[in-house]
Amino acid sequence: MSHSTADSLRPVTLDDVRGAQKMLAGVARVTGMEGSRRLSQLVGAPVHLKCENLQRTGSFKLRGAYVRIAGLLPEERAAGVVAASAGNHAQGVALASSLLGVHSTVFMPRGAPLPKISATREYGAEVRLHGQVVDETLAAAQEYAAETGAVFIHPFDHADVIAGQGTVGLEILEQRPEVRTIVVGIGGGGLAAGIAVAVKALRPDVRIVGVQAAGAAAYPPSLAAGRPLAIEHPATMADGIKVGRPGDVPFGIVGDLVDEVRTVTEDELSTALLYCMERAKLVVEPAGASPVAALLSDPGAFEGPVVAVLSGGNVDPLLLQRLLRHGMSAQGRYLAVRVRLTDRPGALAALLGVLSVVDANVLDVSHVRTHPRLGLTEAEVELHLETKGPAHCAEVEQSLREAGYTVIG
């Protein structure tokens, strides 16, 4: 393990990952593997889910943070550590620091979800809210490090962090030695790089597939250019992999050892998150669901047995509510439609009667009675409906039209 910050760019080896595994014994959980019958049917081979969403702090981040902080020199520990994060890395650094007796300061964006802020404080960190986006928060943390001498703990761009994350790869090989493909989400690249170092050293035949959100996919153009490139305004619901530029250290490893980087859409992410809850009974965040999204969207592309890494489960309940609705909509199980009708007593009851006949469950109803597009006796009703799939959605809309209603969409 590293004992200073000077060698952050050194190569990461299998011995580093094995050393990290010994260091993490009794600290990080050896997370379980859950088989997935439905995914196995789709892929045509066994699929197992590596449940890092059940890791301490709810994600794999504790592994790398602990190894990095444990490797500090005594004088570096005495100066304390500082990090910037909207969630998972913050909690990993907070708990790792507490376990090692090191003072930690964590900068978080002002808009970070309250449960993540509270959890970070409860794990022992001093939390400072700064900026609206992570880039501003990161700058504040680095400024704090320069002023105070605290050691900045990067979420992915350090050899020790990558070695810690690589212990996930060792566990996969121990738990499922027959594995042929490992699928893992990629943001900055620390987890994928660590897994690749460990797995390719022991089993070069295992294929490693990285997954990025299409709206925050910095790796494909960077790999094509042969150097890390930044993308402007990365946009995705998967904040755990919403990183605008690959890390310098993981980029080289991913380029050498990861076989393929795929992208998934927002609809595919929300569908995968819903799948994990309904079918696997596992709460995951969108970034954690990204490997499942890749499997669901193109199951024939993966040679089995497959292990999909569920990297984290820290999702804000309010966001989860929206994500589940988005996932249901993507599957055709949720329909939002506006209907124009005559504004008279009994009109809404008649409309709901039509929906009852076609067995559409009404979740929400709202009226618009005053608008330039409406006539004096007209109203619009926006309906949110629970449906049984795309064919049922089409049946509902057709029934409304046949009953004489103007369906606006």
281 noted as active-site residue: no
Q: Alpha-carbon distance 300 to 294, whole Å?
A: 10
Residues 6+ apart with CB under 8 A from 349: none
Rg (alpha carbons) of the chain, rounded to whole number: 24
Q: Alpha-carbon distance 44 to 309, whole Å?
A: 19
- Exactly one of 2, 97, 311, 329 is catalytic; which is it? 311
Contact in structure between 323 and 286 (CB atoms under 8 Å): yes
- Secondary structure of 129-176 as H, E, C letters: ECCCCHHHHHHHHHHHHHHHCCEECCCCCCHHHHHHHCHHHHHHHHHC
Contact in structure between 139 and 107 (CB atoms under 8 Å): no
399 noted as active-site residue: no
Residue 83 in 3-state DSSP? strand
Residues 6+ apart with CB under 8 A from 264: 211, 212, 213, 214, 272, 290, 293, 294, 297
> Among candidates 97, 16, 86, which has minimal Cα distance to 62?
97
Residue 63 in 3-state DSSP? helix
- Exactly one of 61, 116, 200, 242 is catalytic; which is it? 61
Q: Alpha-carbon distance 57 to 85, whole Å?
A: 14
Tokens standing for residue 142: 């680095």
Contact in structure between 319 and 312 (CB atoms under 8 Å): no
Tokens standing for residue 158: 């350090």
DSSP state of 59: B
Give me the active site residues, please.
61, 311
